[in-house]
Every structure is written in structure tokens, then in C-alpha cells.
Amino acid sequence: MGTTTDCSRSSFTLTEQSCHILPAELNPYIIKFSRDKPKEVAEPDHDIKPHNMRGHISHLQWSKTEDIWASNDRGRLGLFDSSGNNKKWIETCSTSSGHFTLATVDKEGEHIYWGHNEKMFVKRDGKTKYEIETGKCEPISIFFSDKEKLFYVGKVIDIDAKISIYNMNWKKEDDIHRNEAENRNFFQYPAYLVKNINGDLCVSDNNRRVIVVDNNKKLRFKYKGFDNNGFTPYGICTDGGGHILIVDSSSRCIHIVNREGTFIRGIKMSAHLREPRGLCIDNRGKCYVGTYGAIFVYNFSSDDTQTTTAITASEK
């Protein structure tokens, strides 16, 4: 059992500086857009309908077995093959939004770590005993960095939010909490997390923005989408070239952004897709998007001319 942690309470202003097209050297916190938003709807390569997985498929991770882990918003988490056949089930919390992380921490191979947002703890696989309690903080997201051998856990309490960093023995190493340059918290609701190859922590914050923080806990940039027509980021992942992929439920589009925060291109999905949320990429250049009851697979390209082979977070 780990030690109990608690979030400090501190209020912060939710107003943000608007995004203008300015040179990065003039304002490193404001990004520029290099290309127009996509107009053509991309056709998926194929789709996967996981058996007995109803509701929103909110989180996905590619397995080294070339299967896919998927979870929904009803507490079900399973391993599926390319035909949607279930190979393993893990029952989590019925009120959870399905966040989990895949981690190789011992010779047994891959393990699943997930947060119980009602009982405030993190568990491994289907074990009865929890790894750590999170005190009064609700654990809403989790990510394991295989390169660093560290767990990143997103936590909220009331209007306060932070990301805590733990080692493999679940001893807390640090918190990413306050943006001292702006005298406010970095996050409002850090719902999806991923580490980029340059060490940046990329966070899909459910305040209609993506926050990217460097290894020194300094804000690198904020990304707020194409325009003022709405941006609702959910799943987020990165590839071997350091590109950041973000599912935007509002525009039904996968935004592809470089590590400096510049929009490169997008994959526009059908307007009929029901709230795309989950996202992961495999090692063959395929992008997987979780929607209501199905996973759609798209060919992934980081720009208009060159296909970038994607890698999973557990392989970084």
C-alpha cells in the first residue's frame, strides 16, 4: 500500500489569452497554424466492434501482442483481437471514464494500471489490493512512461487539479501543479496524458485545450484547435517523430501537431461518428479511434507527403 496524498486547494482564473498568429519567438505560449483545417472526410481502413463492449470506448492502447486494449465509460476494460474477439476482461469502476495505462514493470509482461475515481486509489490488473491511495483527490487519468519508469497520475479535487509523478514503487517523486509564470494552475481537468519523445508531458485538458509542459515544469505551449467553432480534446498520443495526435470530438477530427505546437494536418472523420474519444497508434502507421461501440482504424500520416511510422507509448 502506498502513502496517502492530498491535493492542495487553490482557486485560479479560467480566462485564457486568445490565440493569434504570432512568431513563436514573440510568445512561446501561443501557437501558430501552418495549414488549413481538413475538408475531405477520410475513409477508415476498417473498423473493429469489440464484443460485449457497449457505451463510449474512451481509452485505447496498443499491445505488443498486436491486440488492442479498450475501455468504456461503464467500467469495462478488455483485450481484443483485430476481429473484436475478447481475450481478457478486467472489471474496474462503473462510474469511471475508463482511463488506464499499459506498463511492463516485471518479467510477467504487460500489466494494466487504472484509477478508481470513487474509492480514490490506483489498482493493478484485477488484483484486490490497491497500489496507492490518492487521499481526497480523484484519480482521473494515468500514464506510464516506459523510458523513465515513472507513473503520471492526473488528480482533481473541487476546482483544483494536478499531475503527480510516482516511481515504480509508488513513491511520489514530484507534482506538476502551478504555472508560476502565469500564477495559476496548469490544468483544470487533466483527462488524458502522454509523454513525447523530447520529454514533454502532453495533456488533453477538458477545458477545451491541450497543455504541453516540459521536463522543467515550464509551459511549452497551449493548443486550442483550428478556430473559434469549438475544440473538445479527448484521446492524445505521440509518434516516433514527436508529432502529437489529438481527437477532437467537436470537429470529428484528429489534429496532428508538431512538438512546437504547430498544426500540421488533420484526419477528418464522418460527422455521423458518435463522440470519438479513445485514441492510439500502432507500429504499422495505423491510427485507432474509439467511438460509441466501435473502433475505427485510419492510415496515419504526419504530413501531406511522408508517412511516419507510429510507435506505442509503451515502446518509447
Domains of the chain: residue spans and CATH: 46-315 (2.120.10.30)
- pLDDT-derived band of residue 97, with 50, 70 and 90 as boundaries? low
Residue 9 above 60 pLDDT? no
- pLDDT-derived band of residue 104, with 50, 70 and 90 as boundaries? confident
Q: How far apart (Å, rounded) are the C-alpha atoms in residues 82 and 86?
A: 10
Over residues 95-119, mean pLDDT: 80
Please name every residue paired with 72 in a beta bridge, in sequence order, or none if there are none.
57
pLDDT confidence of residue 28: 35
Our measurement of the distance from residue 50's CA atom to the centroid of its chain's CA atoms, rounded to an integer in Å, reads: 21
Q: How far apart (Å, rounded) are the C-alpha atoms in residues 216 and 229?
A: 33
Helices (H) and strands (E) in the chain, counts: 0, 26
Q: How far apart (Å, rounded) are the C-alpha atoms in residues 258 and 55?
A: 32
The angle formed by the CA atoms of residues 134, 244 and 208, to the nearest 5 degrees, is 65
- pLDDT-derived band of residue 6, with 50, 70 and 90 as boundaries? very low
- Of the ranges 10-19, 74-83, 211-220, which is most confident? 211-220
Q: CB within 8 A of 154, min separation 6: which ones?
A: 139, 140, 141, 142, 161, 162, 163, 187, 190, 191, 193, 203
Over residues 170-185, mean pLDDT: 94
Is pTM, for the whole model, over 0.85?
A: no
For residue 221, CA distances in Å to 13, 17, 24, 73, 121 come to 18, 12, 10, 30, 31
Tens of pLDDT along 202-251?
A: 999 987 899 999 999 999 999 999 766 689 999 999 999 999 999 999 98
Q: How far apart (Å, rounded) are the C-alpha atoms in residues 132 and 115?
A: 10
pLDDT confidence of residue 46: 85
Handedness of CA 261, 148, 205, 93 (dihedral sign): positive
Tens of pLDDT along 18-38?
A: 223 233 333 333 333 445 667
Please name every residue paired with 256 in a beta bridge, in sequence order, or none if there are none.
245, 265
Q: How far apart (Å, rounded) are the C-alpha atoms in residues 94 and 72?
A: 9
Residue 120 above 60 pLDDT? yes
